Structures are given as structure tokens and as C-alpha cells.
Amino acid sequence: MKQTKIIAIGQGGGPTSVINDEVAGALYEAKLTGAKVYALMNGLEGLLHANVPGNIVDITDWEPAHVRAAPGAILGTTRIQLKIK
């Protein structure tokens, strides 16, 4: 049985539209391989609160051109850092 590849994308730091180009590129390549793509909305915060609806979003069907044209950071962002003990 063939397994579907899954990619998760999130970002942190400054919410610039330049990141959208990277998201669009990853989405484009994922479409070529048939992978599913999930967005970690608001980066690490979205991942840490994955149980909250809307924090993990299936973006497999998003068009890379629309992602590139979006103002700001399409996936949102966060500046929190993990505390490692």
C-alpha cells in the first residue's frame, strides 16, 4: 500500500511576504509529488495548540500563485521560543 507523504509548514519571526514565496515553492513541489500539505497557522503557537480549530489547516489545494501574491505572512507568525531545560 502506497503511503501519502505529509508536509507541515510553519514560520516564525517577522511576518514578511518573502516567506510566502517559500511556502508557495514548497506547495508547488508537494503538488508534483502528490503530498498533502498542512499549515501550522501562527507557527509554533499553532503547533503547540494544534487542538484549537484553525491552527492546523490543510492547504494542499491552495494555489502557489495566490500564496505568493498574498500580503504579509499568509500563515501568520509567532515570536515565542521554546524553553529547553
* pTM of the predicted model as reported, rounded to 2 decimal places: 0.84
The DSSP annotation for 3-67 comes to PPPEEEE---SS--THHHHHHHHHHHHHHHHT-EEEEETTHHHHHHTTTSTTSEEE-TT--HHHH
Per DSSP, what are the bridge partners of residue 8? 38
Per residue in 52-76, pLDDT (tens digit) is 999 999 999 999 999 999 888 899 8
Give the pLDDT band (50/70/90) at residue 1. low
- pLDDT mean over 18-39: 93
From residue 48, alpha-carbon distances to 17, 29, 57 in Å are 24, 26, 14
